[in-house]
Chain A
Amino acid sequence: MLLNRRNSGERWRVRPDGPGKVTGALAYLTDMDVPGALYALVLRSPHPHARIVSIHTEAARSLPGVAAVLTHADVPGLNRFGIARQDQPVFCEDRTRYVGDAVAAVAAETLALAGSALDLIEVEYEPLPIVGDPEQALLPEAPLLHPEGNILHSKSYRSGDAEAIFGQCAHVVEETYVTTRQMHAYMETEGGLFVPGPDGSLTVYAPTQHGFMDRLQLSRILAMPERRIRIVSSPIGGSFGGKDELNVQPYGSLLAMVTGRPVKIHNSRRESVRSGLKRHPMTIRMKTGTDESGRILAHRVRIVADTGPYATLGAEVLNFATEHVVSAYRFGSVDVESISVFTNNGMSGEFRGFGGNQAIFALEGQMDRLAEAVGMDPWEFRRLNMKAADEPGPFGQTIARTDGLAKVWAAAADSALWKERVHLDISENSDIISTSSATFDPKRGGGDLPLWKRTGIGAALVMHGAGLGYGIPDPSGGRLALRKDGKIEASFGFEECGQGLIATLEQMLVERFGFAAEDLRIVIGDSDAVPDSGSSTASRATSMMWKSLSLLQTPFTEKLLTEAANCCGLPVQRLRLGPGGIWDRESGERAIGYPALAERLAEPIVCEASTSYPVPDTDIVGAHYLYSYAAVVVKVEIDDLTGRIRVLRQFHAVAAGPVMNPQGYLGQIEGGSSMALGFALLEESTMAQGQYIANNFDTYLIPTIADLSGPVEVLAIEDLPDGDAYGPRGVGEIGSVGLAAAIASAVRNAAGIFIHRLPIDPALLQEVMPIGQWAVMSDER
């Protein structure tokens, strides 16, 4: 179904958190204030790589109005953090490894005083040679950034003997693909409010994608039991993976515990750019060969990722990229070796798409090149090499069967955009037309376009794994209750970071149970009030809510109906759940309202479910079991004068199981594709000598509405095989994956240039004197 308001009918609902967000009335956690709060700032290293000779804080400490100045010496517990591996210093002891590294933090009565205190902290650094490039970091003479070496992680996957088979290939394509450091660019920068309790407890109001993980990490740092730490973590002004890892929480927490006073901290955009995570820049070298007929026989891939100074989820991102450079094609033999390398550049980490964006850009680029080498239509070429529904996953693992891949392929082939391309390609190659006018080019000018504008259409195919993958604990669960006040309370340990989780949960409760929205209270993002559902990452939250609700449906319904039957003296079979209360099937009347029922109960009705994200039966860490599929077709326009690209139209076919919330689904694909458009055309956090060149949105350019003005059609393919037990697959990331590759493909179609680096450099597409060939007037006129 084409997702839009009209086709969605009553399922198109007003988002519960929408009005507050649109009007600005909603307070984010970084908007919170309490009387008597101190203001905190963090002193970060000006050097990408340096030895710390000495730190003197006396002058700062003695400044009136300064409540505390902390360094590594003041951390009671583990002076390290990291979701997967705790190697990032809370405060550096003797060495800094990037410009975001923290050396000290202060809390003062005002922000200005905190700033003055920072100026008074004397740190003597001895700059060390900068490792600014992962390839350089791998050289034997490179300085070691960690005692174990400069390699964070390597991953390989091999099947068959690719190297030997290249010799038998009729066509071999080799290319190096380069992607750069993209910033999440969330509206709300990192920050929060940290409130110590009189009993030695701590409440943290700070955005994160996984409150329980923050609680665990903070308990290690503070040397405090987890139960004394409460994390309130929603609503969040955007995260996209960027706030899953700890950021300023250690500083706010330590300062609050030391001073015994509430502490407020909020990164400026510059601090956020400097210290925050970015998408991993990757260099992906591919060599792929086919036989005469276009069947792929061998695929060799080498990935080098720049992970920056510390681990966070660098290893997991690399695993994901390794899996997705293979994706859904039937390669005769595969040989992938990937490596994630420490450098003194900015921190790389989790980012929507999780390594798939880079992998698919490279893989789909390779498909287009091979198709041309073979002399085939690129989309047909893909079909020839696509796996069938019952074939194993990228790592040879068993995966949940769906026909998603074939269906998105067919939907794209059938789309008006792709048909337009096929038609134009035919007319371009047709002799009849090209002899009629020496300068005729069906892709140039025409309609409202001046002659220096060319258009082209391209497409890309995407397979995207969801969940954390094999080998990483991935539990989840949720709770339903009828509370004393008569509200049906749904509690999940997920976060609302703008993706529409609350809206989707509400819609599932309304549609599955028959409740009215007013009957419900949704509780998320508070570690004292919710069960641990796992992280709101990896496109997993909707699947896990769906799974939990399906586990809860029978027990919770039965309990409600049994209690209602007791109260009303009616047989259970006559009752059903409905809006406002329990209804009598026979009379069609409401038998008892939820509040009335709650009042009659001695104890609230509570049901909990626990589950975990499905994984394949394999021993390959990171291998996925559930996948979503997408095909993206895009039409672009290139301006020869400037080489700049404009995206005119997009078509996305997405196969991810049933649509839980049409507005949310559409929003995820549109929003994801907007980020992909930035990744393809604009966004690059360039670093020179370990320093960011663009420190704010005046020079780090994300797309504006003017760049996103073209129509975006989203076709949701909902079919799942009979008996599928997994329901909706995630759509949180997949919209952000394929567009860059499709744009590159469209550029090839329009301008005959293969793109191997993102963002696309306009200089590559700019023509010298593009109007020269279009005579307007000459002496012959």
Chain B
Amino acid sequence: MQMSDAVGFSASTPTVWRPRHAEEAYRLKKQFGHDAAYVSGGTLLRTQWENGSPVPGHLIDLSSAAEWKEAGADNGTFAIGAQTTLSACRSDPQLQALYPLIVEASRSIAAPSIRNLATIGGNVSSGVGDSLPALLVYEAQLDWYDDGGERTESLEDWLRRMQDGTAQTDSLLLRVRLPLESANLDPSENLSENPSLTADPAHSFAYYAKIGRRDSFVPSAVTTALTGTIDGSGRLRRVRLAAGGGKTIPRRYPEAEARLEGKAADDRSVHLLHAILMASYTPAPDPFLSDEYRKRTAANVAASHLWRAISEFAHGKEGERCC
């Protein structure tokens, strides 16, 4: 702790710690337990405090650790440091090229002033952030620091444990890793640059949508992401679907993914996807929108993603790609 400078001692204001390394941050968290919180941008915490959650006695400010602010290729993956702000994600050219849904998700979260502070780490750690469906379809991994030092876990597993209530609460998120093989290497997109590929008409698609009660600067009601490919013979391949929204912990929909694998890219697939989500999307309670409404929204929006993908494919990719 000798490396940390604590500021602001007073009965009512919490102590702020500024650790410079993961080990130190984690040690502080272990030491103070429930009376301490990691703070990245502090934007989500602030809303929680506004809404009456107690402010803990110790705030562990993670912003001094520069190593967690970097984004770039690392070890066969693309790593985004947990302290990377959503503004930085939004304007990162590499992310835009490789994982455009993350850029799109970043753009849809809160407002510019908040995105300047808010981090991807805080968004992920919340368990309900709007970046999660995008990260899920890219099969993101999380690097944690805890008792055993650094470890890696799939985002999907961690969210499942969040849902079960078995996720460790003290672990420190260091970075999010995205496998390079899930990057947006759309062969049809390379057509113009590389005429030799024209023989392969496969079409990759990626869609993200955040639906709220108004157009912008709004908590999400439903957030969806869908990626996949339509192969040369018009069959769906490697469809990955994730949905969350509001307090609903996002998850993948393996049943839909499995049943769509190899199916013809046609209306029946759109219907199938819709039916599966109607049956299996279970939103957490929301005081403003009914479960039924949000179920239908999730199914409609996800089905519209697939519909767009198919119609783009059918019309030789004329349509725009967007939510």
On A, residues with C-beta under 8 Å from B are 112, 116, 270, 450, 452, 640-644, 646, 681-682, 686, 693-696, 698-699, 701, 703-704, 706-707, 762-763, 766-772, 774-779, 781
The reply to whether A641 and B297 form a contact with Cβ atoms under 8 Å apart is yes
Interfacial chain A residues near B265, Cβ < 8 Å:
777
Q: How far is the CA of A220 from the CA of B270 in the complex (A)?
A: 70
On B, residues with C-beta under 8 Å from A are 12, 47, 50-51, 211, 213-219, 234, 264-268, 270-271, 274, 287-290, 292-293, 296-297, 299-301, 303-304, 307-308, 310-311, 314
The reply to whether A777 and B314 form a contact with Cβ atoms under 8 Å apart is yes
Interfacial chain A residues near B50, Cβ < 8 Å:
270, 696, 698
The reply to whether B310 and A766 form a contact with Cβ atoms under 8 Å apart is no
The reply to whether A642 and B314 form a contact with Cβ atoms under 8 Å apart is no
Contact of B214 among A703, A771, A774 (CB under 8 A): A703
The reply to whether A693 and B300 form a contact with Cβ atoms under 8 Å apart is no
Q: A701-B214, A701-B218, A778-B266 are in contact. Are A771 and B303 (CB under 8 A)?
A: yes
Contact of B300 among A703, A769, A776, A779 (CB under 8 A): A769
Q: How far is the CB of A683 from chain B (nearest CB, A)?
A: 10
Q: A776-B311, A778-B266, A778-B267 are in contact. Are A699 and B293 (CB under 8 A)?
A: no
Q: How far is the CB of A558 from chain B (nearest CB, A)?
A: 56
Closest 5 CB pairs of A and B: A706-B216, A641-B300, A706-B215, A763-B293, A777-B266
Interface secondary structure of A, over-half rule:
loop
Q: A701-B214, A704-B216, A771-B303 are in contact. Are A776 and B293 (CB under 8 A)?
A: no
Contact of B293 among A686, A706, A766, A771 (CB under 8 A): A766
Interfacial chain A residues near B213, Cβ < 8 Å:
644, 682, 701, 762
The reply to whether A642 and B292 form a contact with Cβ atoms under 8 Å apart is no
Closest to B222 in A: A642
Q: How far is the CA of A116 from the CA of B267 in the complex (A)?
A: 63
Q: How far is the CB of A531 from chain B (nearest CB, A)?
A: 44
Interfacial chain A residues near B287, Cβ < 8 Å:
686, 693, 699
The reply to whether A704 and B307 form a contact with Cβ atoms under 8 Å apart is no
Interfacial chain A residues near B270, Cβ < 8 Å:
771-772, 776
Given A642-B211, A686-B288, A777-B234, 5 more contacts at CB 8 Å? A769-B274, A769-B303, A770-B300, A772-B270, A775-B267
The reply to whether A452 and B274 form a contact with Cβ atoms under 8 Å apart is no
Q: A769-B303, A772-B271 are in contact. Are A777 and B310 (CB under 8 A)?
A: yes
Q: How far is the CB of A689 from chain B (nearest CB, A)?
A: 13
Interfacial chain B residues near A644, Cβ < 8 Å:
211, 213
The reply to whether A776 and B271 form a contact with Cβ atoms under 8 Å apart is no
Closest to A678 in B: B214
Q: How far is the CA of A119 from the CA of B218 in the complex (A)?
A: 33
Closest to A777 in B: B266
Interfacial chain A residues near B215, Cβ < 8 Å:
646, 704, 706-707
Interfacial chain B residues near A766, Cβ < 8 Å:
293, 296-297, 300
Q: How far is the CB of B147 from chain A (nearest CB, A)?
A: 36
Interfacial chain A residues near B218, Cβ < 8 Å:
701
Interfacial chain B residues near A646, Cβ < 8 Å:
215
Closest to B296 in A: A766
The reply to whether B301 and A641 form a contact with Cβ atoms under 8 Å apart is yes
Indicate the member of B211, B214, B310 with the most A CB atoms within 10 Å.
B214
The reply to whether B292 and A776 form a contact with Cβ atoms under 8 Å apart is no
Interfacial chain A residues near B303, Cβ < 8 Å:
769, 771
Q: How far is the CB of A76 from chain B (nearest CB, A)?
A: 34
The reply to whether A707 and B214 form a contact with Cβ atoms under 8 Å apart is yes
The reply to whether B304 and A771 form a contact with Cβ atoms under 8 Å apart is yes
Interfacial chain A residues near B266, Cβ < 8 Å:
776-779, 781
Interfacial chain A residues near B216, Cβ < 8 Å:
704, 706-707
Q: How far is the CB of B226 from chain A (nearest CB, A)?
A: 14
Interfacial chain B residues near A767, Cβ < 8 Å:
300
Q: How far is the CB of A774 from chain B (nearest CB, A)?
A: 8
Q: How far is the CA of A615 from the CA of B287 in the complex (A)?
A: 46
Indicate the member of A112, A682, A763 with the most B CB atoms within 10 Å.
A763
Q: How far is the CA of A54 from the CA of B211 in the complex (A)?
A: 49
Q: How far is the CA of A703 from the CA of B217 in the complex (A)?
A: 10
Q: How far is the CB of B248 from chain A (nearest CB, A)?
A: 16
Closest to B292 in A: A763
The reply to whether B288 and A642 form a contact with Cβ atoms under 8 Å apart is no
Contact of B304 among A641, A703, A778 (CB under 8 A): A641
Q: How far is the CB of B163 from chain A (nearest CB, A)?
A: 24
The reply to whether A776 and B310 form a contact with Cβ atoms under 8 Å apart is yes
Q: How far is the CA of A766 from the CA of B221 in the complex (A)?
A: 14
The reply to whether B219 and A698 form a contact with Cβ atoms under 8 Å apart is yes
Q: How far is the CA of A704 from the CA of B47 in the complex (A)?
A: 19
Q: How far is the CB of A412 from chain B (nearest CB, A)?
A: 27
Q: How far is the CA of A698 from the CA of B111 in the complex (A)?
A: 12
The reply to whether B271 and A777 form a contact with Cβ atoms under 8 Å apart is no
Q: How far is the CB of B288 from chain A (nearest CB, A)?
A: 7
Closest to A766 in B: B296
Interfacial chain B residues near A704, Cβ < 8 Å:
214-217
Q: How far is the CA of A306 from the CA of B211 in the complex (A)?
A: 32
Closest to A770 in B: B300
Q: How far is the CB of A109 from chain B (nearest CB, A)?
A: 14
Q: How far is the CA of A695 from the CA of B51 in the complex (A)?
A: 8
Q: A776-B314, A777-B314 are in contact. Are A642 and B301 (CB under 8 A)?
A: yes
The reply to whether A112 and B12 form a contact with Cβ atoms under 8 Å apart is yes
Interfacial chain A residues near B292, Cβ < 8 Å:
763
Interfacial chain A residues near B307, Cβ < 8 Å:
771, 774, 776
Interfacial chain B residues near A641, Cβ < 8 Å:
211, 297, 300-301, 304
Closest to A771 in B: B307
The reply to whether A640 and B214 form a contact with Cβ atoms under 8 Å apart is no
The reply to whether B47 and A698 form a contact with Cβ atoms under 8 Å apart is yes
Q: How far is the CB of B115 from chain A (nearest CB, A)?
A: 15
Interfacial chain A residues near B297, Cβ < 8 Å:
641-642, 766
27 contacts between A and B (CB under 8 A): A452-B300, A641-B211, A641-B297, A641-B300, A641-B304, A642-B301, A643-B293, A681-B214, A682-B214, A686-B288, A695-B51, A696-B50, A698-B47, A701-B213, A704-B214, A704-B217, A707-B214, A762-B213, A763-B290, A766-B300, A769-B303, A771-B300, A771-B304, A777-B266, A778-B266, A779-B266, A781-B266
